[in-house]
Chains A and B, each alone.
Chain A
Amino acid sequence: MSYSDVPAKGPSGDIVGKPRRNATETRFYLTNEFGLIALIVIFALAFKFTTEGFFSAFNLFTLGRIAAVNIMIGLAMMVVVITGGLNLAVGAIGVCAAMTCGYLIEVVGLPWPLAILSAVALGALLGFINGWTSVRTGLHSFIITLATMSIFFGVMIFLTRAESYRALPPVFAAFGRLKLLGLFSPLLLVSLLAALLLGYLYNLTAVGREMLTAGAKPEAAEMSGINVGRIFIYCHMLSGALAACAALMLVARNGAAIPSMAGQLGQDWLLIAFLGPVLGGTLLAGGKASVLGTCLGAFLVTMLTSGLLLLQLGDFWIQSFLGLLLLAAVLMDKTRRTFLARRNMA
């Protein structure tokens, strides 16, 4: 309590309670989540007045559909980032899972719920390969997932001959086109469900707490009896499964499983995958997850992209803009952290 001179200036006599509340309030205003909500509101209002039809039912529906996939991609990266590692192969795993789903339905003739389950299981399996290799060799997941992203994508493109699966059952496209209350895409509900489950995992289950502990301080976690290697493998499997879900949602949106839907080697997903968690305040060093922040971050990015496209500022510049946004986000986060540390609030 080195700065207890703050309450003395306060009008009321509640000296003990006041500084706490002030600190809590300031801290709340300085959280990523509050900043993101403020930014979302500000930009939504800005787009409302500068563009035509930003709040039209159609645009809100499209926005929700794109945001749903972006949130899922962000979550897929977040669950690995909390271990202090990363997963460059999210895009490659996602495409592999989506193509498997298409193959199982079109060629093998599996019913679609089974095909979806198998695709998610494949995502988890590929994630397991990443995690196991990284834990067993003791190498950083950066180089491992860089290599596996090339391998997964190469095998997928070799097996599919770069052909799409377009004759999917109408359920997929119908789910992608479904409008709840004429506004919301059910895809958004899927992402929200995933986010809620992750929130439950990290806050209320032993495994989730162990993931956070192992990410924050692997040595200390190991000494307190946590099998850190196994926990890291779980995180990678979770990431693979979430990446598969994101790709399947994309299939529902496109109505087809397309090998190029995440770009060359799945690299197109990388920026959005990091934007969500980083904007949301997930520490890249590991040990801290913000599920709500990741969702808000991914939503903000989607909204900005959509608004800028509506403003017709030239869609080729969007990518530069997203890069600058990531830079601004990390710089602001750095400043915020320094500020909190200086005032002993972190």
Chain B
Amino acid sequence: MNGSLANAVRSDWFGPLLVTIVAVAIVGGFNPSFLSPLNIQVLLLAIAVNGLIAFSQMLIIAIGQMNLSVGAIGGLCAIVFAGMMDAWHVPASLAALSALSLGVICGVINGFLIARTGISAFVITLASLSVYKGINLGITHAQPFYNISDGVKSIGQGAIFGIIPWLMLPTMAVGLALWFMLNRQPIGRFILAVGGNQHAAELSGISIANTVVIVHALSGFLAALAGLLLVARLQMGQPTIGDDWLILSFAAPVIGGAVLAGGHVSVPATLLGVVIVAIITQALVLFDIDPFLVQVVLGAMILAAVGANRFRESRLSRNLKRL
């Protein structure tokens, strides 16, 4: 068999890509309106936001931890962004900058507490989840901010060539940057090394604490960015932003073959995971299937993906043994 083809088959992105193509073919075949420009634009909008959410969690999975507060950080930064424009009439760029810095700060707090205390990331981020969400509710009193600047609104609605939403650009840029970082930069290799074997990484001179803090800061930044994009897309700052991110943030990386124990994630495969989730969600709408079932499908997809990853792992290790 051709060597490069065999390599492609074994890579993380091959399976998700196959599923994506098959899903597009099936859904498009049964319902041609799926491939209409309007529908593609809606699909890309969903992918733009969800991609950032997935990347935010993917980075944490890379070091073998989890971040339950992705949604809470995104929601808090979203309402700070919208609130500064609404209540204080701050220019959009400045508001965006402050909201993104807040995201980084929230992430650093998570990372610092985890690295310093050695308490599991699950408990720390569960606690910070409710702290951030509580601040969100304390600021908004559960009321949305409506008066956001026109520039933000037009970015949220605009599309290049009438099909690719502007909001897609930050996500693509982040995807490329993350791929470059994880594959070509020392810090990216440090992150994967810490996830793969923390003890070995420490012995080879990598500072675990610094890596953990940096990863959580990046994760907070991406969650904040996702929150900002959602404000632009919804044309208002809703306090409920981020409430339903948890399942999704884990689904995409896991579908993309990420190992939950850490050390192995793939940027393109995670993005394909987001695409698959978006296509299936969209298909449920197009075929008039109950939207309530989206949750069931998402859960089932996580189970199927972890099962498939497990199977792939065990087959790989068996092949290695035979060599």
Interface string of B288-300 (1 = CB under 8 A from A): 0010111111111
Q: Which of B117-173 contact A (CB under 8 A)?
A: 117-120, 122-124, 126-135, 137-138, 141-142
Is there an interface contact between B113 and A327, defined as CB atoms closer than 8 Å? yes
- Residues of B within 8 A of A (CB-CB), count: 45
Q: Name B's A-contacting residues (CB within 8 A).
A: 66, 113, 117-120, 122-124, 126-135, 137-138, 141-142, 243-244, 246-247, 250, 254, 260, 290, 292-300, 302-303, 306-307, 310
Q: Which residues of chain B are within 8 angstroms of A151 by Cβ–Cβ distance?
A: 295-296, 299-300, 303
Is there an interface contact between A316 and B298, defined as CB atoms closer than 8 Å? no
Is there an interface contact between A320 and B135, defined as CB atoms closer than 8 Å? yes
Give A149 to B299 CA distance when docked, in angstroms.
8
Does any Cβ of B come within 8 Å of A330's Cβ?
yes
B289: nearest residue on chain A (CB-CB)?
A158
- With A150-B247, A326-B123, A330-B117 given, is the CB distance from A316 to B137 under 8 Å? yes
Binds B, one of A100-108, A135-143, A236-244: A135-143
Does any Cβ of B come within 8 Å of A165's Cβ?
no
Is there an interface contact between B137 and A319, defined as CB atoms closer than 8 Å? yes
Is there an interface contact between A284 and B120, defined as CB atoms closer than 8 Å? yes
Is there an interface contact between A324 and B117, defined as CB atoms closer than 8 Å? no
- With A320-B138, A330-B117 given, is the CB distance from A143 to B302 under 8 Å? yes
A137: nearest residue on chain B (CB-CB)?
B310
Please give the distance in Å from B58's CB to the nearest CB on chain A.
14
A278: nearest residue on chain B (CB-CB)?
B123
Does any Cβ of B come within 8 Å of A34's Cβ?
no
Which 4 A-B pairs give the minimum distances between C-beta atoms?
A320-B134, A154-B295, A150-B299, A319-B134
Does any Cβ of B come within 8 Å of A53's Cβ?
no
Is there an interface contact between A316 and B142, defined as CB atoms closer than 8 Å? yes
Does any Cβ of B come within 8 Å of A321's Cβ?
yes
- With A146-B250, A146-B302 given, is the CB distance from A153 to B295 under 8 Å? yes
Does any Cβ of B come within 8 Å of A93's Cβ?
no
Interface bin, chain A = 35 or more
Q: Which residues of chain B are within 8 angstroms of A153 by Cβ–Cβ distance?
A: 295
Is there an interface contact between A265 and B295, defined as CB atoms closer than 8 Å? yes
Does any Cβ of B come within 8 Å of A124's Cβ?
no
Query: Quick one: which of A148, A155, A284, A323 has the most chain B CB within 10 A?
Result: A323
Please give the distance in Å from B158's CB to the nearest CB on chain A.
31
Q: Which residues of chain B are within 8 angstroms of A321 by Cβ–Cβ distance?
A: 134
Give A133 to B244 CA distance when docked, in angstroms.
24
B306 touches which of A143, A316, A318, A327 (Cβ 8 Å): A143
Q: Which residues of chain A are within 8 angstroms of B300 by Cβ–Cβ distance?
A: 147, 151
Give A247 to B86 CA distance when docked, in angstroms.
40
Q: Which residues of chain B are within 8 angstroms of A304 by Cβ–Cβ distance?
A: none
Is there an interface contact between B134 and A317, defined as CB atoms closer than 8 Å? yes
A317 touches which of B123, B138, B297, B307 (Cβ 8 Å): B138
Is there an interface contact between B142 and A158, defined as CB atoms closer than 8 Å? no
Does any Cβ of B come within 8 Å of A334's Cβ?
yes
Q: Which residues of chain B are within 8 angstroms of A264 by Cβ–Cβ distance?
A: 243-244
- With A316-B142, A317-B134 given, is the CB distance from A326 to B293 under 8 Å? no
- Given A137-B310, A323-B129, output 15 extra A-B contacts at Cβ < 8 Å: A137-B306, A140-B260, A146-B246, A146-B247, A147-B303, A150-B299, A154-B299, A158-B293, A265-B246, A274-B123, A317-B137, A320-B130, A322-B134, A326-B126, A330-B117
Is there an interface contact between B310 and A139, defined as CB atoms closer than 8 Å? yes
Interface of B (DSSP majority class): helix
Is there an interface contact between B247 and A322, defined as CB atoms closer than 8 Å? no
B295: nearest residue on chain A (CB-CB)?
A154
Please give the distance in Å from B302's CB to the nearest CB on chain A.
4
Is there an interface contact between B292 and A330, defined as CB atoms closer than 8 Å? no
Please give the distance in Å from A32's CB to the nearest CB on chain B.
15
A-B contact pairs, 17 of them (CB 8 A): A148-B299, A149-B247, A150-B299, A151-B303, A267-B243, A274-B123, A316-B137, A323-B130, A323-B134, A326-B127, A326-B130, A327-B128, A330-B117, A330-B124, A331-B117, A331-B119, A334-B117
Q: Which residues of chain B are within 8 angstroms of A144 by Cβ–Cβ distance?
A: 303, 306
Is there an interface contact between A162 and B243, defined as CB atoms closer than 8 Å? no
Interface string of A7-36 (1 = CB under 8 A from B): 000000000000000000000000000000
Please give the distance in Å from B216's CB to the nearest CB on chain A.
15
Is there an interface contact between A323 and B295, defined as CB atoms closer than 8 Å? no
Please give the distance in Å from B147's CB to the nearest CB on chain A.
21
Q: Which residues of chain B are within 8 angstroms of A278 by Cβ–Cβ distance?
A: 123
Q: Which residues of chain B are within 8 angstroms of A133 by Cβ–Cβ distance?
A: 303
Does any Cβ of B come within 8 Å of A157's Cβ?
yes
Q: Which of A286-342 contact B (CB under 8 A)?
A: 314, 316-324, 326-327, 330-331, 334
Is there an interface contact between A323 and B307, defined as CB atoms closer than 8 Å? no
Is there an interface contact between B66 and A142, defined as CB atoms closer than 8 Å? yes
Give A327 to B133 CA distance when docked, in angstroms.
15
Give A147 to B129 CA distance when docked, in angstroms.
19
Does any Cβ of B come within 8 Å of A231's Cβ?
no
